[in-house]
Amino acid sequence: MMTFIFPFHLTLFPFFYVLIFTYTRTHTHTTTATIHTLFSFFSSFLCFFFLSLIHIKDSFAQKPYTFF
């Protein structure tokens, strides 16, 4: 039986990647850069939020993620 533990910190990588990429490639703060940064932050937050809910639900049930 294998137990899968999701690395929650990986959900923040897209946000930091887009943030660093945006501010290093553009010398001015453009609308496109703002949209990309906000979208990346929002998507990372949603991933973290829903995965946290799953983790909390499973911890109450005391059933880890199992495969096979």
pLDDT band at 11 (very low <50, low <70, confident <90, very high): low
pLDDT of 41: 75
Task: Quick: pLDDT tens for 14-56.
Answer: 767 776 676 666 655 666 767 777 777 777 777 777 777 776 6
- Tokens 């501010």 belong to which residue? 23
Residue ranges per domain, the chain?
20-25+32-68
Does pLDDT of 1 surpass 50?
no
